[in-house]
Structure 1
Amino acid sequence: MALTGKKIVIIGGTSGIGFAVARQAAAAGAHVVVASSNQDRVDAATKRLGEPAEGHRLDVADGDAIAAFFEQVGEFDHLVYTAGESLVIKPLSDTTPQEARAVFERRFWGAFLAAKHAAPRLRPGGSITFSSGVLAVRPMSGTAVTAGITGGIEALSRALAVELAPLRVNVVRPGVIHTELWDGSVPDPQAFLQDHGSELLTRRVGTAEEAAAAYQFAMSNAYVTGTTIAIDGGAALV
Structure 2
Amino acid sequence: MNTQNQNSKLQDKRIILMGGTSGIGLATAKAAAEEGAQVIVVSSSQQRVDSALVELPESTAGYAVDLSKEQNIKAFFDGIGSFDHLVYTAAENISLIYVNDLELGKAHDYFNLRYWGALASIKYGAPHINQGGSISLMSGIANPRPGSGWLLGASICGAIEGLTRAMAVELAPVRVNAVSAGVVKTNLWNSIPEADREAYYKTVGEALLVKRVGEAEDIAQAFTYLMKQQFTTGQILITDGGTVLV
Give the TM-score category using the shorter length: over 0.9
2:25 pairs with 1:18: yes
1:185 to partner: Cα distance: 4.8
What are the superposed Cα offsets for residues 87-138 of structure 1, whole Å, 9 maximum, x if unpaired?
A: 2202111121222111101101110110000110000001000000000110
Q: Which amino acid aligns with 2:121?
A: A
Distance in 1, matches of 2:192 and 2:19, equals: 17
2:239 pairs with 1:198: no
1:186 to partner: Cα distance: 6.3
1:50 to partner: Cα distance: 2.3
Q: 1:84·1:103 contact (CA, 8 Å) conserved in 2?
A: no
TM, length-normalised to structure 2: 0.94
Tell me the equivalent position of 1:189.
Answer: 197
Distance in 1, matches of 2:213 and 2:242, equals: 10
1:182 to partner: Cα distance: 0.8
Q: 2:179·2:222 contact (CA, 8 Å) conserved in 1?
A: yes
Select 1:169's aligned residue among 171, 176, 180. Answer: 176
1:16 to partner: Cα distance: 0.4
2:154 pairs with 1:147: yes
Tell me the equivalent position of 2:94.
Answer: 87
Tell me the equivalent position of 1:178.
Answer: 185
Q: 1:13·1:36 contact (CA, 8 Å) conserved in 2?
A: yes
2:238 pairs with 1:235: no
Moved more, 180-189 or 55-64: 180-189
Distance in 2, matches of 1:34 and 1:98, equals: 30
Tell me the equivalent position of 1:113.
Answer: 120
| Structure 1 segments unaligned to the other structure (5+ residues) | none
Q: 1:11·1:81 contact (CA, 8 Å) conserved in 2?
A: yes
Secondary structure in structure 1 of the residue aligned to 2:190: helix
Q: Which amino acid aligns with 2:203?
A: D
Distance in 2, matches of 1:181 and 1:198, equals: 21
Select 1:30's aligned residue among 37, 41, 44. Answer: 37
Q: Which runs of 4+ in 1 moved over 3 A?
A: none
What are the superposed Cα offsets for residues 135-154 of structure 1, whole Å, 9 maximum, x if unpaired?
A: 01100111111100000100
TM, length-normalised to structure 1: 0.97
Q: 2:183·2:240 contact (CA, 8 Å) conserved in 1?
A: yes
Secondary structure in structure 2 of the residue aligned to 1:136: coil
Secondary structure in structure 2 of the residue aligned to 1:130: strand
Secondary structure in structure 2 of the residue aligned to 1:83: coil
Q: 2:14·2:85 contact (CA, 8 Å) conserved in 1?
A: yes
Matched residues, percent identical? 45
Secondary structure in structure 2 of the residue aligned to 1:132: strand
- CA RMSD in angstroms comes to 1.1
- What is the total number of aligned residue pairs between the two structures? 238
